[in-house]
Every structure is written in structure tokens, then in C-alpha cells.
Structure 1
Amino acid sequence: MDMAGRTVIVTGASSGLGQATARELKRRGAHVIAAVRTPARAAEFDARVLDLNDLDSVRAFAAGVREPVDVLVNNAGIGNRPRELSAQGFESTFATNFLGHFALTGLLLDRMRDDGRARIVHVGSALYRHMKTLPLDDLAAERGYSKGRAYVGSKLAQLVFGLELDRRLRRAGRPIRSLVAHPGMANTPMNSNLPSRAGRAFMSVLQATVGRPADRAAIPILYAATDPAARPGDFIGPRLRRWDDRVHAGAIAPHAADPTLAARLWAVAEDATGVRFDLDGGTAPPVAGPGPRRRRPAAG
């Protein structure tokens, strides 16, 4: 699709999938705002500071977006990290991959165009199928921590959020699509820079057999961001065969489409971030109360 005259925000656009997505959208004429921690690494775009691990940074970034937004790509993510806490005291993988994007989306919703073409894309992972529940009563991971579970849980939360956001937008009559997409196995820095030798060896085998370079792994994300045929409610991604770049509209596992889980996740995220979504399309910032709760950092 010709993207001339359209404004796109891509989180994590300084490397990997985000960079590949942003470059292709810019090539097709979009004004790309790269939401990154280090703007110097994304100087080819309109780079602005965003640290999703700090809700104050999310609010500052959103306040600086004055132009109408056509597409928001919630792409940035971290994984395979020791337990750390965000600026507000939440486990960092969950805070970065989900809570930061939840707050960013809510704060930018009144900037999204209501022309029927605007969309929000949430970049997920097929690994979400391996986790059925979310530890929503332990957002600091004080009762136990696993690198793998932290990452998969954050991606499950992002998927549940993307589906629930679309349901709420439709009920409110807002002509904005919320879609979920995944890249399959992408040969990106996050998947390559693992801390253990065994992990790196295992990942190198996966990348050699089913992995795709970032520019090809970004195809489902670009499809979700631009193609009129992309449908909310599908899990948009590639086929397993690495040479096959066709986009596949996969079914969502029932536990991720559970409205009860979605409602609980939404309530917890609102409480954690202090962000309320302006689904009626008003102009006031969608924030209620004094802002995100600050937690005392726990040891670990």
C-alpha cells in the first residue's frame, strides 16, 4: 500500500523487526516516528525517546506526539533476562513488552485518525500457546521467576490485550482496527544474543532450519499494518517453512480469547499504569487518578 501522507509510530525501530518494518513503511512514503531508547541508533527516521520500562517516559513520549497517527506498531520487546524491576517496580519483561505498550496505546488513542484506515498492530509470539494463565497478582515476580515464563507471559498478555482492544473499539463504534501479528522465528539480535552457550547453540539450529532474516520476518507485521484485507481476530503470521513468505491467518487458542481473562488483565493494567482508554474519541488525555502506582523495589 502507498503510505504517502500517513504517520506511523514503530516502537523498537532501532534494530531487528522494528527497524525492518520502519524502513519498508518509510520506503512506501510514510512519516515514521521511531520510538526508541537511543535516538542516535534510529537517525534515519524521526527518532524520539521512549523507554517502555518506565511509565514516566511513556507519558512524556505520548505528550510529545502532536500529529494525527495512522498506525501504531507495538513491536519493541525484551526477553531472556535475569529478574529486574521497572522504574515503577514491576518485573521488567512484563513491564516492557506489555504494560508499557498498554499505556502507550491508551495515551495515543485520541491521536489516532477516525478515517476507517487507522490501526494498531501488536507483535506477538506463537509461544503464547504454552502458557494458559497469567500471574496478575504478582507483577513484580516476587514469588518466583523464570526467564522463559516471563517472556511467554508478556506475549500472552500482549495478545489478549490486542484482541480485547478490538472488541472494545467495535463496541464503542470507533473505526480503528486492533490486530495481532507474529514473525515466526526471526533472526534478530534478541534471538541471537542469549546469555548461555547452550542457548545460543540451540537457537542457531532453529535459525538455520526455520529462521528468517528481519526483512522477511517483518512481512506479517507489514501486512497487518497496511493491507485492507487484514482481519482483527486472526493471528497473522508466516508458514513454518522458512522459504515460504505467504501470510497465514491463524486461529487464536481459546484461552487467549477468553473474555474473563481479558477483563481481568485490562483491570490490572489500568491499575498498574494509571491509564484509562478514551474509547469515545474525545480529546482529553485518557488518564484517571494520580498516575501509575509506584512500588518499592524488591530484592533480586
Structure 2
Amino acid sequence: MTTPWTMDDIPRQDGRVAVITGANSGLGFETARALAGRGAAVVLAVRDIDKGKQAAARIADQVPDADVTVQHLNLGSLASVRAAATDLGSVHPRIDLLINNAGVMYTPQQKTADGFDLQFGVNHLGHFALTGLLLDHLLPVPGSRVVTVSSFGHRIRADIHFDDLQWDRSYDRVAAYGQAKLANLMFTYELQRRLAAHGSTVAVAAHPGSASTELSRNMPAIARAAATVVMPLLAQSAAQGALPTLRAATDPSVLGGQYYGPDRMRETRGFPRVVTSSPASYDLATQRRLWSVSEQLTGVTFSA
């Protein structure tokens, strides 16, 4: 029987720089706390600076000598993404880990500052742009990784709707979330193919299973009511849900293009292992088309 991978298996991260989006709460906070506890210099890239500072203080209280800083980042604004990338690159010429963790789920129909659907814009396009703008700071670093957090939601009513990517004609919050999280995986797989010829930087994906976080706050009322009954029985803690991300980010045996998720109860809970994403996520033509469209929408092209 395989020994479960736990927090104790995270190698020392001394001298490494980890940038984590959405790290002021939930999975991102637990990821940041664990990496800081192993000696990494951690940057909390967050939309709300005050909440970010509070999170950094909580980590400092729990981790002696923690090296934690806060960077403003609003993934719903390409101007903010560009400004954050400039700031990060100037302070950290080398970045070992970029963890694309932040996300929104099942939001009412809203647009980003650039006119994108909020779920697609924040979950996918913002991270696509950030990764492209920071990639030159990762490529020279041996063992650097881009880890993007997807979701089991990439299987639920999910497709890439090229004819209406921004849901202008009609809006379905569940399908919009599915599209965004499917895009996270397709981005990872296409990025890994492009990175393969550029040294040791790799792209990896992860999902937390069913974890207790603030993401469920935008669920429809009926679903939210049901979740208050079901989630305490099924959901694992945010710390447990962060394990697939942490393994993808730190396990020396990880390979580019892998996808990590929980190992029990149909990937809803448990310890991290390599899992398989939906058949749709592996479609090469769609991955490449999504990449091209994402470059056009963001104005960001990749050096790889």
C-alpha cells in the first residue's frame, strides 16, 4: 500500500521564492503557510491588501522567521496584472514557484475591468497573462514550476465556448465555472508542451477535491442551503485540500503536465496523487486554439 503524501513530505524550500495568487484565505493561505514553514520566501499576491497583510501576520505568528510579503494583484484587471508582474520582477529577479491559485466560483453575471466574463477572466485569462509576464523570471531557475489550480468542476457542463467565451448571449454560472476550470487545465497542458524545450521549468495542475473554503459563497441559494448540510459531512479542511497543490509544487518526482488530486471518494477527499482529467481537457486542437485566443484577448505572448 502506498504511503500517503502529507505536509511532512514537503522538502525544505530555503532560498526559493514562491508567488501565490489568492493567498489571503482558504487553499492559498494554507499553501503559503506550508511553504513559509519550509523556508520559502512567500509572496501573497492578493486583491485586498489589508486582508493580505492580516494573512501575512497570521503566518508570521505561526512560523518563526517566516519571510512573507504582500503584493497587490487584481486578476480582473489586465492593467493590475501588468503592474503586479513589473513589481514582482523588480523585487524577485528569479522566481521558483508561481502558484495560480486564486479563483471565483458560480458568481452572478459580471464583467472584469476589460469586459471579460468574471469567471473566465479571473480564473483563466488573468492567470494566463500573469504567467506569461513572469515566465522570463522562471525559465532560468532550475526546478522552477508553474502550478495552476483547477477543480472537479472542469467536468461539469464544461466546454470552451469559442462562439461566446464571455457569455454575452446567455449566462449559466455553473457552465461558466466549468469552462474556466477546463481552461486552467488546457492552459497547463499546452504550457508544458511549450516549456519542454526550455530547460527544467515545468507546468503542473492540481485540484483540492471537496474542500471547505469561501468559494461556495456565490452558489445559488438552493445549492448553498444543501451545501450547509452536505459539506460538513464530505468536505475536508482547507489544509488537506491544499495538499495536491503543495505536492505539485514541491515533490521532486513530479513531472510536467501531471495533474494532482485527492485519492479517495472519487477525488473528493484524501491524500494527493496523480489523477486524470476529463477527455475534453486533452484535446490538442482546442488547447492550441484557446492559447491563441488567450494571447489575443490579453495581449500577452509567451517567450516559450
Q: Normalised by the size of structure 1, how large is the TM-score?
A: 0.88
Matched residue, 2:273: 248
Matched residue, 1:218: 242
CA deviation profile, 1:180-233 (whole Å, cap 9, x unmatched): 100000100112x24544222222233223211111110110000111112233
CA distance in 1, matches of 2:76, 2:102: 11
Matched residue, 1:187: 212
- 1:50-199 aligned at under 5 Å gives the runs 50-65=73-88, 66=90, 67=92, 68-131=94-157, 133-170=159-196, 172-191=197-216, 193-194=217-218, 196-199=220-223
Asked if 1:209 is matched to 2:233, the reply is yes
Indicate how the Cα distance of structure 1 residues 29 and 268 shifts in structure 2: closer, same or farther if over 3 A, else same.
same
Matched residue, 1:200: 224
Unmatched runs of 5 consecutive residues or more in structure 1:
280-300
Measured after TM superposition, the shift of residue 252 of structure 1 is 2.8
The code of the aligned residue for 2:274 comes to A
Measured after TM superposition, the shift of residue 127 of structure 1 is 2.0
The code of the aligned residue for 2:104 comes to I
Kindly indicate which of the two structures has a greater share of residues assigned to helix. Answer: 2
- Asked whether the 8 Å contact 2:209–2:268 carries over to 1, the reply is no
Indicate how the Cα distance of structure 1 residues 133 and 199 shifts in structure 2: closer, same or farther if over 3 A, else same.
closer
The code of the aligned residue for 1:62 comes to A
Moved more, 211-220 or 224-233: 224-233
Indicate how the Cα distance of structure 1 residues 2 and 274 shifts in structure 2: closer, same or farther if over 3 A, else same.
same
- 3-state secondary structure, aligned to 1:245: strand
Moved more, 243-252 or 226-235: 243-252
Matched residue, 1:41: 51
- 3-state secondary structure, aligned to 1:155: helix
CA distance in 2, matches of 1:90, 1:244: 32
The code of the aligned residue for 2:249 comes to A
Moved more, 68-77 or 83-92: 83-92
Measured after TM superposition, the shift of residue 113 of structure 1 is 4.8
Indicate how the Cα distance of structure 1 residues 35 and 63 shifts in structure 2: closer, same or farther if over 3 A, else same.
same
- Asked whether the 8 Å contact 1:131–1:156 carries over to 2, the reply is no
CA deviation profile, 1:127-146 (whole Å, cap 9, x unmatched): 21234521123233111101
CA deviation profile, 1:52-101 (whole Å, cap 9, x unmatched): 00000000000111211000000000012111111111111100000000
- 3-state secondary structure, aligned to 2:264: coil
Matched residue, 1:25: 35
**Considering only aligned residues, what root-mean-square deviation do their CA atoms show, in Å?**
1.7
Aligned length: 277
The code of the aligned residue for 2:71 comes to R
Asked if 1:235 is matched to 2:259, the reply is yes
Given candidates 5, 14, 23, the residue that maps to 1:13 is: 23
Give aligned-pair identity as a percent: 39
CA distance in 1, matches of 2:221, 2:198: 51
- Asked whether the 8 Å contact 2:235–2:268 carries over to 1, the reply is no
CA distance in 2, matches of 1:101, 1:201: 31
Q: Normalised by the size of structure 2, how large is the TM-score?
A: 0.87
CA distance in 1, matches of 2:184, 2:131: 12
The code of the aligned residue for 1:58 comes to V
Measured after TM superposition, the shift of residue 255 of structure 1 is 1.5
Measured after TM superposition, the shift of residue 39 of structure 1 is 1.6
